[in-house]
Structure 1
C-alpha cells in the first residue's frame, strides 16, 4: 500500500520533531525559530491539504455563480466575463466527497476488484478469465503510469511524465 500524502506529511513532521529539532544548537534563536516555522508549516499542511480540492471546487462554483448573476445585472457582458464563464469548471457534486473518503473508497474497490478477479480467473481457460486478465492488465498499466508520474522525483530510471499530463491523458 502506498502511504497517503497525509501519512507521509505526518511521518516527516514526526521525524523532524524527534530527530532534527532536539539536536539543534543551543543559543541559536534564529535556527530554533526557523525549525518552529517549518514544524508549523507541516502542521498546517497536514490539517488543510485534504480539503484543498473541495475548497477550490466550492470557491470556483461560488464565483462562477456570482459572475453569472452579476453579468445578468450588467447592461453589457465584457469579453473577459464571457471568456472565463465559457471555461470548463467542476461539477457541484465534486465538492461533496472529502478526499479521505474517496481514498478509502478507492482502497475498498481495489480489494473487491482483486477478489472478483480471483474468482473469475479460477477457471483459467474460460472466456471470462481471459477478459478479466485483459481488464486487470489494462488497469494495472494505467496505475503504474500514474504512480511513476506521481513519484517521478524519487529517481525512477524510466522517464515518467508529469502527473498532470498523465492524468489528463488518462481522463480524456
Structure 2
C-alpha cells in the first residue's frame, strides 16, 4: 500500500517544491519510491503553472536536489482524499487547509516542522522576499523535518509489508 505525502506552502514555488525535492531524494535513497507518493501544492493560485523560484532551484541544486520539474499548482478538493499526510509550511497555510478540508480528513493536516529533530521552530519561514541565504535556511529546516517524515513512512511501509 502506498503512502502519499503532499507538501503545501502559499504559492508552490519556494518552500513546498523544495520540500518535495528533498523528500523525493530521501525516499529514493531509502529505496521507498515504489511505496511513497510525493507532490507539492499551494494554498493560493498566484503562480499556477510556473516553475519554482530560480533562487529555490539554485539553492536546491547546490545541495544535490532536483526541483526543476515541479510545476506550481493549487490544492484541489481531491487532495484531501488522496493524500495520507498534508504538510503545511506555516500556520497561515495550515489554517487555509483546515478551512477547505472535509472533517473526516482533518487528521491528515499537520505542520511539517512537527517532524523536525534538530530545529525547534514551528514553521518554515517564507524566503520569497529575502535574499538567497533564506533559501539555504529553508533547506536546513526541510532536510531536518523530511528526515522525520521519512522515518514515519518507513514504519508504515514496514508495517504493510509485514501484514
| Higher percent of residues as strand | 2
Bigger radius of gyration, 1 or 2?
A: 1
Larger RCO (alpha carbons 8 Å, 6+ apart): 2
TM-score, L = length of structure 2: 0.22
- Relative to the length of structure 1, the TM-score reads 0.22
